[in-house]
Amino acid sequence: MLRSFYGYFEPVASLPMKSLLLSLLCFSFTATAFPDESGVADLQIGDPAPAFSLPGIDGKTYTLDDFKDGKVLVVFFTSNHCPTSHGAADRIKTFLADFRSKGMNFVAINPNNPEGISIDELGYTKYSDGFEDMKRYAADQDFDFPYLYDGETQSVAKAYGCLTTPHVFVFDAERKLRYKGRFDDSRYGGDDSTVKSPDTRNAVAALLVGKTPPVEITKPMGCSTKWRSKKVGIVERMAAWDATPVAVELIDLAEAAALRKNGTGKVRLINVWATWCAPCVAEFPTLVQTSRKFGTRNFEFITISVDDPGDSARVKSFLEKQKSGMSKRVQKSVEAEGRRTNHYLYRGTEIDQLMQALDPQWPGGIPHTLLVDPDGTIFWRHNGPVDRETLWGAILEHMGDYYVRDDVSGKK
């Protein structure tokens, strides 16, 4: 048995290793039934727009004929999770405001299957790419255009040759392809000066006045299309991650204060807990999920146990059962700091002193959780079990959901 969490598959804790291997083998034999990247078209300039019939988030089913009006049709493949798509969001709104009244029609299509997305690919979003999450994401972004789902069969993505999100296809009044590629040449958000070549804008502006686009083909850039067949590899990789060993080291007051001071360039999630604390145990899977979700960003999960210093083996056993091993990326950054783990057992006896060193506003009791900026500033704290959505929201609000140029606060 496997259970799914936003494209992340982990073995049930009680599953024997032999059964896990048999499950993985079963997945490998059934993978051919999944939509995959085979048969992806290479649509050529002058080719007609491929027909489609897809569900929209508004409950309607849309076909190509629903977009027959207008001098130009823009088919915009995008997704909920991709930071490059997020970065273009405001520029899309300006683009629509400038051209829809002049005869441009526009439709967005999500090509991704959420089972083809690993949890560590979701570090720039609260959502995965399933249909229900499309509704939530579109509401957050104030989408006022049709947003369609192709993730079930991914046949439309193949027909158009969608390689990434975003990937843009511009058709003329006869619905013949006249431009394909990137939306523009910037992968960043929040700063329009990063755009040097507004390729889609230029193509649409030319077609609306009967001219040929100045550039007809560019290379799309963004997040690769998430074919459902990637599920098999994700299961195998997560199983290997689950088996990563955990090291636990004793830590004194000064060392704990140093972790809190940070200065590493990473946002730190610090959790104080104990194996005897029921709320701590209950919330721990959420913290591990959070660690994996943001693990490809400048982010690190650190735990400090206040169990008896002699209970190191018990703490280690718990952490390994929770699959708390570091990713290779995080391990590399930890070793660069001269450390060998991100899991600690407080050797002191005065918890009040630890509270003062980590967070003078800590009211007492555990679990206690902090989000610490690279400069050592606590930008979020919570005493008691954390709520997953609230925690993720705090991280994304601080770190952002798109790439920002020349930024060192955790954004890329």
Place of tokens 């959790």: 271
Two structure tokens written together for 107? 């439709």
Smallest CA-to-CA distance from 182 within 97, 82, 115 is with 82
The answer to whether residue 407 is domain-embedded is no
- Of 27-36, 64-73, 265-274, the poorest mean pLDDT is in 27-36
C-beta separation of 166 from 199 below 8 A: no
301 plus 354 within the same structural domain: yes
- For 55, counting Cβ atoms within 10 Å of its Cβ (0-12 exposed, 13-18 middle, 19+ buried), the class is middle
Q: What pLDDT is recorded for position 406?
A: 59
Q: How confident is the model at residue 224, as a pLDDT?
A: 97
Residues 293 and 234 in one domain: no
Per the structure, how many domains does the chain have? 3
Point out which residues pair with 55 in neighbouring strands: 61
> Is 404 domain-assigned?
no
135 and 15 fall within a common domain: no
Across the range 141-169, mean pLDDT stands at 98
Q: Where are the beta strands (DSSP E) in 121-254?
A: 147-149, 164-165, 167-171, 177-181, 223-224, 249-251
Q: With 60 as the cut, is the pLDDT of residue 97 above it?
A: yes
> Pairing state of beta strands 2-5 and 368-372?
unpaired
Predicted confidence band of residue 20 (pLDDT cuts 50, 70, 90): very low
**Which has the minimum average pLDDT: 11-15, 218-222, 246-250, 360-364?**
11-15
Supply the pLDDT for residue 15. 36
pLDDT band at 184; cut points 50, 70, 90? very high
* CATH code of the domain in which 369 resides: 3.40.30.10
Q: Is the pLDDT of residue 309 over 60?
A: yes
Residues 204 and 235 in one domain: no
Instruction: Tell me the mean pLDDT in the region 371-389.
Output: 97
pLDDT at 412 over 70: no
Mean pLDDT value across residues 199-205:
98
Domain hosting 262: range is 246-399
Q: Has residue 392 been placed in a domain?
A: yes
> Are 341 and 381 within one domain?
yes
The overall pTM is greater than 0.85? yes
Q: Please report whether residue 250 resides in a domain.
A: yes
Q: Are 265 and 298 in contact (CB under 8 A)?
A: yes
Backbone angles phi, psi at 299, to 5 degrees: -145, 140
Sign, CA dihedral 273-275-276-282, equals: positive
Same domain, 215 and 91: yes
Q: Which of 213, 243, 273 is the last residue of a domain?
A: 243
CA distance 194 to 218: 17
Q: By three-state DSSP, how is residue 66 classified?
A: helix
pLDDT at 182: 98
Quick one: average pLDDT of 349-365?
93
User: Same structural domain for residues 63 and 26?
Assistant: no
Q: Give the CA angle between residues 51, 56, 58 to the nearest 5°.
A: 145
Q: What is the pLDDT of residue 21?
A: 37
Q: What is the pLDDT of residue 350?
A: 85
In a domain, 43, yes or no: no
